[in-house]
A and B are shown apart, each in its own frame.
Chain A
Amino acid sequence: QVQLVESGGGVVQPGGSLRLSCAASGFTFSSYGMHWVRQAPGKGLEWVAFIRYDGSNKYYQDSVKGRFTISRDNSKNTLYLQMNSLRAEDTAIYYCAKDRIALRWGEFFDYWGQGTLVTVSS
């Protein structure tokens, strides 16, 4: 069955960095676009970033452009989110999510991980 398992969250000071990982299994990872979505405590969902199945195209929410980098290693079935220059407003649960259809992009998300909490605080 499809599994997405995030890791790498934690507490970091403002201006610091973290790298999140999302280990995928149960599907052909290299055929699916992948996303990061976040949810601040008690708030709604915010799409953060997308990477095409082959890594050739990436898109970002304006608020994270230039600070966050999405990447993937298809040989390791793993998605990453490198987060630099972190701010208090980046505090959230970060979910990775999978595109519904293979070899497409900009699809809806049919599987989500359980999320990893990032807290930016001094």
Chain B
Amino acid sequence: EIVLTQSPATLSLSPGERATLSCRASQSVSSYLGWYQQKPGQAPRLLIYDASNRATGIPARFSGSGSGTDFTLTISSLEPEDFAVYYCQHRITWPQTFGQGTKVEIK
């Protein structure tokens, strides 16, 4: 199975700062990489699909980039509601797998 490795495990930032999250795949997933946000006690929410496309209703401060094995989720200016855990996921083959998550916490 394809292993997705996210870094860093925790990102401590202040509101208004830029967040850069990384996801690296053990083999190429082409552009079939997505990002989800999960807040405590809630189900995950799709942010980005196919590496760089924002899902419906997702603010423009969220952007995704990358292809092959290296991907980035960028939050241009953190809002208070953005502090959460972020997961990447691929869909190129079965089993689909998730990264272990990056927690974005308030500094």
Q: A residues within 8 Å of B by Cβ?
A: 35, 44-47, 50, 59-62, 95, 100, 106-110, 112-115
Contacts and interface: CB of A to CB of B under 8 A. Distances in A.
A109 B89 CA distance: 10
Given A44-B100, A45-B87, A115-B43, A110 B95 contact: no
A63 to B, nearest CB: 9
Contacts of A110: 46, 55-56
B98 A44 contact: yes
Interface of B: 1, 34, 36, 38, 43-46, 49-50, 55-56, 87, 89, 91-101
Nearest to A101: B49
A67 B91 CA distance: 23
Contact of A44 (B1, B87, B93): B87
**Nearest 3 A-B pairs (CB), nearest first?**
A112-B43, A108-B34, A59-B94
A106 B96 contact: yes
Given A59-B95, A61-B95, A110-B56, A45 B46 contact: no
